[in-house]
Amino acid sequence: MDLKGLPSELEQFVEQEISEGTYQSAEEVVSAALRLLQAHKAKGNHASLSPNGQGRTVPRSAEEVVQAIRDALATGHYDAAHQLAMEGAKHYPQHDALQQYAHVLAPPAVRNMPSSSESRAAVKANGEWLKAHRKDYLGRWVALRAGELVRVDDSYEALVAHLDTTNLLLTKIV
């Protein structure tokens, strides 16, 4: 069997299976793969191929979408997890887990805030304070307002427990 028409990662996989002795020939590897695909389809998973040739399972229920998201995240396919979460949340608006995945995997929201000379001065003062006091507060959480230390604590939760965080810089000194 000529493997030259296969994508390089599939060609390498087939060659590895043969060299490890799992299969005796490329035909055996391909036959086993096709049997697995047939079994997968027979179980009702309706495997399909995406335009780029990657295998994709089309989930039929909200729980299958959640599992597909978990599988994608576990295998490092973050774009696929994002896409599944967005589509799942749209198709199942009452499903809490899908709504949570959609929220967590959504692109960050960016807001343009008009800056003033006061806000720019506060940012600069916070930066100067951090440079001057970094060694004194290593490993601790600090709350700064316009270059003034408001509070320091060992955990984020303790730091913000009794604070109005409006216009504060909250950061851990590392």
pLDDT of residue 123: 94
Average pLDDT, the chain: 84
Domain that residue 70 falls in: 59-109
- pTM to 2 decimals? 0.39
pLDDT of residue 53: 42
90 and 128: one domain? no
Q: Which of 50, 71, 87 is the last residue of a domain?
A: 50
133 and 167: one domain? yes
128 and 167: one domain? yes
45 and 67: one domain? no
Q: Which of 14, 33, 50 is the last residue of a domain?
A: 50
pLDDT of residue 17: 84
pLDDT of residue 100: 95
28 and 73: one domain? no
pLDDT of residue 86: 93
Task: Measure the CA–CA gap between 117 and 57, rounded to whole angstroms.
Answer: 54
Count structural domains, the chain: 3
pLDDT in tens, 98-147: 999 999 999 988 888 778 999 999 999 999 999 999 999 999 999 999 99
92 and 133: one domain? no
Segments of the chain scoring below 50 in pLDDT: 45-53, 57-58
89 and 136: one domain? no
97 and 130: one domain? no
pLDDT of residue 43: 55
